[in-house]
Structure 1
Amino acid sequence: MDQLNHLSPIAQHVWDAKYRYRRQDVVYDVQIADTWQRIAASLAAQEKDSLHWQRHFYDCLQNFKFLPGGRIQAGAGTSHQVTLFNCFVMGTIADSMEGIFNALKEGALTMQQGGGVGYDFSTLRPRGTQAYSVGSIASGPVSFMRLWDSMCATILSTGARRGAMMGTLRCDHPDIEQFIAAKQDRSQLRHFNISVLVTDDFMAAVRNDEDWPLVFPAGEHAGEVAVLLRAWPGYAHPVPCKCYKRVRARALWESIMRATYDYAEPGVLFIDRINQRNNLYYCERINSTNPCGEVPLPPYGACNLGSINLTQFVQDPFTERAQLDMAGIAAIAKTAVRLMDNVIDASHFPLASQAEQAHLARRVGLGVTGLADALMMLNIRYGSKQSLQIAQAVMQTVCHAAYQASIDIAQEKGPFPLFERDKYLAGAFIRNLPQTIREGIVRYGIRNSHLTAIAPTGTISLLANNVSSGLEPVFDSVYTRRVLGRDGDYSEYQVTDYAVAAWRKRQGDESLPPAFVNAHHVSPTDHLQMQAAIQPLVDQAISKTINVPEAYAFDAFRDLYQQAYDLGLKGCTTFRPNPVTGAVLSKVEEAQLTPHCCNLEREAD
C-alpha cells in the first residue's frame, strides 16, 4: 500500500499544506516517505559517514517515531531560503525610536522566514514619562506591542502558517497593570501570547502581603530622584531605578489571576527560577521565551525542537501485557539528538546574530508527544498516580539518553563553544544528573548546552494521525478541527484521537478505551501534577495548558499559579472558556478578527 494511504484525511491535508516539498507546480515529495528521505539525507550530509546516518535518521522518522519541529520538516533538503528553527527570542529592545523600529524590522525578517518570535518589552519606558532627548511623552510598552501585532498580521496574511509571538513584561514595570489587561479587548494583540515575568521577591511580597514598588531605570537622571537598585534587562549589573508608585502585591497578583480566569491571559514565567536553573547561568541572562513557553532563551536564542512519539513504543497495547519499550525510547532519543545537532549546521538564519547564538550554545529541545494516547494504550488513566510515575520514567529515559548522546557527539566533534567545564558542572540541573553522565562531561565535554523541552506539537501531532499533543491529555475522542491550507483558507475535518481509533479498530465497535479521559475531565490540580512530575527532568521548560472548566469557581482557581510556583514549575498557562478566546465568532466577526494564538489551533510548528 502507498504510504500516503496510511495518513488520515487531516494528516494528508497537513502534510500537503505544510510539509510537502514543492516548487510552484513541481512536486518533489510524492509520498510521506519522500519527506522522511529528504529530511534524513539533508541532515546526514553534515556527517562524515552520511549514508550510515541517513539510514538511521530515516528509520527514526519512519512511521512518525520521531517528529522533528515543523520548520525542519518543511525546510530541510529544500531550496527554500528558510530557517529550520521554529522560534526565536529576539534581541533586547533599545528604549529609543530607532531601537524599537530596528527590533521590529528584525522580527519581520525572522517571521518572513517562518520563525515565531519572543520579545521582552520591559526595556521600554512607561507611558506618560518624558523622552528627554526629543521632549515628547512616551506611550509605553503596550502601545508598541500593537506595532508588532500589525506586522505579524501583515507578514503572515497568506499561506498555511499562522503567526506566533510571545510578549513579556516584568512584574515591577510601571505599566504592568496595563499589560495584564491588554488582551481583554478581543481586537487587540491577537498574535501575541503574553506572560508576566514574576520574580521570587514578588512572590514573597504576595505571601507577606507587602507593598510592591513599580520601577524603571532612572538613567542619567538617577541623581535627581530617590532610587532602588534593581537587576533589569539590557544591563549587566543592577541599576538605579526610579519608583513610580507602590501597589499591594496581593492586589497585583489578584489582577493577574482575575485576568487569566476571565480571558486566559496573561501566563506567568517564574523568571528567577528560570535563570537560576539555566545550564548557561554563567554567561547569559534570560528575559523571555519562545511563543509557547517551553524554551526560555537569551537574546537571539533559537528553538530547535523535536518530539518522540510515545504511541510507537507501546508493546501489546490495550492488553494486560501492555508496556513501554524503554530501550527503544532511549535509542531513538540518541539518534534524535544527533539529527537535531545537525540542524544547527544545516539551517539558514534570518539574522547573523541568531546564527552566532545557535552555534555558541547548540541548544536542542528534545521532548515527547502522544503521552496521553500511550497511557490509554497502557490502560492507565491520565492524572492517576501511575500515570505520573510512567511520565517520570519516560522523561528520565529521554533525558539521560539525550545527555549521553551529546557527550558522545562532543567526543567526536567537540563541545559547544560556550562550554566551561567547572561552571557547567556546577549548574543546578547538571548537579542532579547521574554520576556517570557527569563523569562523561568532565572527560569529553558536551555538544549541546541544553537537551530537553516539552513542546505543544500541535500540527506535527495531527500529521502523525492525531496523536495527543505533547504532555496534554486527549482533547476529545472525536471533534472537529480547523486547519489552514496553502491558500490561506481554513478547512474543517472531523478527527478521531489516535488511541481511540486504534481501540475501536481492535474492538470493532464505537466504544471508548477503559482508561479514556479527555482534557475537560482532568482536574486543574492533576494538570499541574503532571507538569510538576517531569519538570525536574527537563532542563528547559514545558508548554502545558491547564484546562479549567467554565464553571470552576474563582476562589479555587486563584491559587493555581501559586501552586505552580510551589511545585517548582518555571511557568504556567491556563485556559478557561471565555468570551474572548472561547466564543464562536460570527461570520462578520471572523472576517474582522484574527483567531487568538493560544486557542486549540495555536501553533509553534
Structure 2
Amino acid sequence: MPAEPPLDTPVARHLWQARYRAGAAESGIDTSWRRVAHALARIETARREEWENHFLDILQGFRFLPGGRILAGAGTGEDVTLLNCFVMGTIDDSVIGIFRALERGALTMQHGGGVGYDFSTLRPSGFRARKTGGIASGPVSFMDVWDTMCATIQSAGVRRGAMMATLHCNHPDILAFVDAKRDPRRLRHFNLSVLVTDAFMRAVAQDEPWPLAFPDLPDGNGGETIWLDWPGEAGAVRCRVARRLPARDLADRLARAGYESGEPGVLFIDRINRMNNLWYCERIAATNPCGEVPLPPYGACCLGSINLARLVRDPFSLQARLDTDRLAAVTATAVRLLDNVLDATRFPLAQQRHAARRARRVGLGITGLADVLLMLGIRYGSDASLEFAHGTMRAICLDAYRASIAIAREKPSFADFRREPFLGAPFVQALPAEIRDGIARHGIRNSHLLAIAPAGSISLLAGNVSSGIEPIFAADSRRTVPGPDGATVTLPLTDYAVRLWRAMHDRSDGVPDALVTAADLPLEAHLAMQAVLQPWVDNAISKTINFPAAIDFAAFSGVYRHAYDKGLKGCTVFRAAGERGSVLMPAAQPTCDGGDCG
C-alpha cells in the first residue's frame, strides 16, 4: 500500500487544527500521537517506554483511532475528560431532583462530555405532584430545559457534546415524546430513543391494547394497577394505568415519527439488560448519545476504533487481504490503551469515577469496513461481505477478551467482577471454552470490551475512510463542518478507498466495480450487516439505516420489527428529506464513458 502524508485532505487538516491540535507546539498529527502515547503510557508502573512505543505504533498511520476526547485531551494538562460521553444518574421526580440532575449534566458537558438521560422517572403531564399538589408538566417539558442548557454551554465555547433522552414505552407521555422532534426547531441538541420492551413487541404482533402507566399515580387518575419493571426501581413496582391504546397505534406513531424526522430511535431494553455482562449488579435504562454503549447511572464510554482500511495488504488486486496478524496485535494494544484512559482521565463528577472504575468498560470498535470490502472487491451487503464482517469481528472480540484476561494477570480485575455470575452472562457463555477458562482462572480487567461507534470525525481525520460499519456514503461528496470562528465551512470529500483506487490507476474520476453506496442498499442489507456483528459486540452498535427520501411509508414502517426479529439491541433510521441531510451531500458524479467506471 503506497505511503501517504498523514493529513492529505482538506477536511483532515481542518479537523486536526480545529479539534485535536494541542496548541502551536504541535507541528503535525505525529506530534499529537506522541503526546497521547506518552500520556497514556505514564499510567503503567513498569515498561513505560515499551508501552509508549506500542501505543505510538498503533496510532501512527491511523491504524487505531482513539475517541476524539482522548486525541484532543490526553497529555494537554487541561481540565477536560478523555471520555466521550456519560449516562447520568436517575432523575428524582421532584423539582430539587430535576434541577440537581440538570446541574450535574451541565458540569459534565462543561468538561466536554456528552450525556444520556432516562426521563421515565418523571411523572406525566397533567397529573398532580406528590408533595405540592401542583400539576406536573411532564418529562418532555423538562427536556426543553436541558436543551437550552446545552445550547448555553456550547455558546460559551465549550467543545460540542450531544445528549440522549430515553423514555419507557409504557410512560403516559410516550406519544408526546415520540412526536417531539417533528418540530425541527425543538430539542435540537438531543437524540431520542424509546425504551421498547419485549412485551410491547408481543402486543404489537398480537394486536393487543397497550397500557400507559406510571408508578404510584394518585387513585383519582384511574383505578387499574399493573406491575411493571420500571427504570430507577430495583424490580417490578405497582403502576397505575392512566389509559390504554392499541399497541399498533403506538407502533405506527413511532414509525411515522421516524419517517418524518428520523427520530426517535428504539432501544430493545429487555434484550440490552438480558445480554449485559453485569446483569447481576446493574440495570440499564439509557445509552450514550449515539447508542453504542448502554450504561447504568453515571457510567462512561471509553471509545476507540480499529481502522481496518489501514490493515489491507495489496488492495484492489487478486492478492488483496486483511493483515490478520497485524489486526490481532493492534487489538491487544488498543485494549490496554483504552484501559489506561480510565486511569488517566479526569471525571467531572465523583460518581462517574466510581462507576467507571468499578466496571472498567471500554468500547473497542471498527471503522473503514466498507472501504475494506471495496479494496477486497466485495460488494457491501453481499453474502461474502457478511461472512467477512462476521469473521473479522469475531477475531477482534476474542483477541480483545484474551488481552483483558492477560491484563488481569498483572492488574486487578474490575471491582464488580464476580466469577460465577459473570461467567453465567449469555454473551460470555457464547465465548470459546479457552477464554471462559481464562476468565475463571485469572479474572478479567474489563466488564465490556467491544462497541461499534459512528467514528465520524476521526474517520474524516484518517482520510475520509467509511465511518464505522456504514456503507460508503458516496464516492465524492461535500461536508459542512464548523469553522474556527463558529461559521460553517463546506469542504470536498472523496472516499478513502476510492481515492486510493484512482491514485493506483492514475485517474481523477471513476469508481471501482464493487462500489455500493448507502443509497443503493435495501433495508435488509443494512440490518443484515448489523446483525452479523452483534453476536461479537458486548456493548452495542451505532448504525443508521439510511432511506431515500422517496420511499413510501408502507415500505419503511416495518423497520423496527425487522430489527427486533434479527436480535439487534437498537435501531436508528434516517430519511433525507426536507431540512435534513444537509451536513453531508453527494457531489455530482462523472459520467462513465463506455460504461468504464472500474
TM-score by length of 2: 0.95
Partners of 2:235 and 2:413 lie apart in 1 by 29
- Identity across aligned pairs (percent)? 57
- Contact kept in structure 2, 1:263 and 1:579, CA below 8 Å: no
- 1:483 corresponds in structure 2 to 481
Instruction: For residue 136 of structure 1, report the CA deviation from its aligned partner.
Output: 1.2
1:41 and 2:42 matched = no
- 1:512 corresponds in structure 2 to 511
- 1:17 corresponds in structure 2 to 18
Per-residue CA shift, 1:201-255, capped at 9, x if unaligned? Answer: 0001001100010000016869994321111111112111110000000111011
- 2:53 corresponds in structure 1 to 55
SS at match of 1:404: helix
- Contact kept in structure 1, 2:361 and 2:449, CA below 8 Å: yes
Partners of 1:486 and 1:142 lie apart in 2 by 33
Give the one of 483, 496, 499 matched to 1:498.
496
Give the one of 225, 237, 246 matched to 1:248.
246
What is the CA RMSD across the aligned residues, in angstroms?
1.8
Partners of 2:57 and 2:141 lie apart in 1 by 49
Per-residue CA shift, 1:172-191, capped at 9, x if unaligned? Answer: 00000010000011110011
- Contact kept in structure 2, 1:228 and 1:240, CA below 8 Å: yes
Instruction: For residue 5 of structure 1, report the CA deviation from its aligned partner.
Output: 6.3
- 1:193 corresponds in structure 2 to 191
Partners of 1:181 and 1:220 lie apart in 2 by 26
- 1:128 corresponds in structure 2 to 126
1:539 and 2:538 matched = yes
SS at match of 2:34: helix
- 1:211 corresponds in structure 2 to 209
Partners of 2:579 and 2:118 lie apart in 1 by 24
The number of residues matched between the two structures is 583
Give the one of 366, 371, 374 matched to 2:372.
374
- 2:25 corresponds in structure 1 to 28
- Contact kept in structure 2, 1:403 and 1:451, CA below 8 Å: yes
Unaligned 5+ residue runs, structure 1?
585-594
- 1:466 corresponds in structure 2 to 464
- AA partner of residue 560 (structure 2): Y
Instruction: For residue 540 of structure 1, report the CA deviation from its aligned partner.
Output: 0.7
- AA partner of residue 29 (structure 1): E
Written as runs of structure 1 = structure 2, the 5 A alignment for 1:124-203 is 124-157=122-155, 159=157, 161-203=159-201
Instruction: For residue 484 of structure 1, report the CA deviation from its aligned partner.
Output: 1.6
Partners of 2:371 and 2:224 lie apart in 1 by 57
Give the one of 238, 261, 264 matched to 1:263.
261
Q: 1:54 to 1:177 in 2, by over 3 A?
A: same
- Contact kept in structure 2, 1:4 and 1:32, CA below 8 Å: no
Instruction: For residue 315 of structure 1, report the CA deviation from its aligned partner.
Output: 0.7
- AA partner of residue 474 (structure 1): I
1:527 and 2:540 matched = no
SS at match of 1:247: strand
SS at match of 1:83: coil
Instruction: For residue 515 of structure 1, report the CA deviation from its aligned partner.
Output: 0.8
1:8 and 2:9 matched = yes
Give the one of 100, 103, 108 matched to 2:101.
103
Partners of 1:223 and 1:462 lie apart in 2 by 53
Written as runs of structure 1 = structure 2, the 5 A alignment for 1:84-99 is 84-99=82-97
Partners of 2:268 and 2:86 lie apart in 1 by 19
TM-score by length of 1: 0.94
- Contact kept in structure 1, 2:397 and 2:450, CA below 8 Å: yes
- Contact kept in structure 2, 1:197 and 1:268, CA below 8 Å: yes
Instruction: For residue 411 of structure 1, report the CA deviation from its aligned partner.
Output: 0.6
SS at match of 1:533: helix
- 1:552 corresponds in structure 2 to 551
1:231 and 2:229 matched = yes
SS at match of 2:106: helix
Per-residue CA shift, 1:93-133, capped at 9, x if unaligned? Answer: 00000000000011100011110010000000000001132
- Contact kept in structure 2, 1:167 and 1:193, CA below 8 Å: yes
Partners of 1:270 and 1:411 lie apart in 2 by 35
- AA partner of residue 401 (structure 2): Y
- AA partner of residue 578 (structure 1): A
Per-residue CA shift, 1:309-357, capped at 9, x if unaligned? Answer: 0011111100011111112111100000000000000000000000000
Partners of 2:128 and 2:156 lie apart in 1 by 39
Partners of 1:360 and 1:85 lie apart in 2 by 16
Give the one of 432, 440, 453 matched to 2:438.
440
Give the one of 68, 73, 79 matched to 1:81.
79
Q: 1:159 to 1:524 in 2, by over 3 A?
A: farther
